[in-house]
């Protein structure tokens, strides 16, 4: 079975859920703020993993500063007679520098994932993610299982209660780390057949979107 092109993914999420353990922003207001007018810039400090080899993962910020997207072009896990043992699991580790306008802090309140799954009867797939700020002991981890038979686009959203959001401490530069994984297992399926799961698109249509929330820090 050849790889499938993925359809363009339209992304929308209400800011009513979060992906981190509860931690207030040090010194920040308790009230949510509108996104800052200044343009947000995100630099990729490091990118490593079998699912995002050099040049295959790109980051872009939404014009309204409400979200950023990560676009993958070579993120596919596969099992079958023509695949190698290492093909069954692919991962990506992103270390991002988020340049926040002065006087603001942010949290990531939800994360949307989309991809394509072709799973034979008895085969299984898994999408996992974890998130943390550099230097923080709090790490949030989520997983989304899939079972065959399946031959369709898939979608998963990481979210918890709004009160569980973790904010970047005011006045500190803390890189934001995202670790993702896609895994496929033969399970009880016919081992002579192929199953795969992807979080990529050969034409660059698929995005993973992370949604911001903003608060104002006190004036120094």
User: What tens digit of pLDDT does each residue of 165-220 get?
Assistant: 677 878 888 888 889 999 999 999 999 999 999 986 322 233 456 677 888 887 75
Residue 23 and residue 138: Cα distance in Å, rounded? 9
CB-based burial, 93-123: b 16+ in 10 Å, e otherwise: bbbbebebeebbbbbbbbbbbbbbbbbbebb
To the nearest whole number, what is the mean pLDDT of the chain? 76
Among the ranges given (39-48, 116-125, 154-163, 169-178), the one the predictor scored with the smallest mean pLDDT: 154-163
């Amino acid at each position: 079975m050849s790889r499938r092109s993925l359809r363009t993914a339209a992304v929308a999420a209400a800011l009513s859920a979060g992906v981190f353990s509860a931690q207030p922003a040090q010194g920040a207001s308790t009230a949510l703020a509108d996104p800052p007018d200044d343009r947000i810039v995100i630099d990729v400090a490091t990118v490593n993993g079998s699912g995002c080899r050099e040049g295959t993962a790109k980051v872009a910020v939404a014009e309204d500063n409400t979200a950023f997207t990560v676009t993958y072009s070579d993120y596919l896990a596969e099992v079958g007679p023509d695949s190698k043992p290492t093909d069954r699991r692919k991962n990506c580790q992103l270390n991002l520098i988020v340049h926040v306008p002065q006087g603001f802090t942010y949290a990531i309140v939800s994360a949307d994932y989309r991809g394509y799954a072709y799973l034979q009867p008895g085969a299984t797939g898994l999408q996992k993610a974890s998130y943390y700020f550099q230097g923080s002991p709090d790490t949030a981890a989520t997983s989304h299982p899939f079972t065959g038979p399946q031959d369709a686009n898939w979608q998963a959203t990481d979210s918890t209660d709004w009160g569980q959001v973790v904010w970047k401490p005011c006045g500190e530069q803390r890189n934001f780390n995202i670790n993702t994984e896609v895994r496929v297992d033969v399970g009880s399926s016919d081992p002579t057949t192929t199953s795969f799961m992807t979080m990529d698109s050969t034409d660059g249509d698929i995005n993973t979107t992370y949604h911001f929330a903003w608060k104002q820090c006190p004036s120094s």
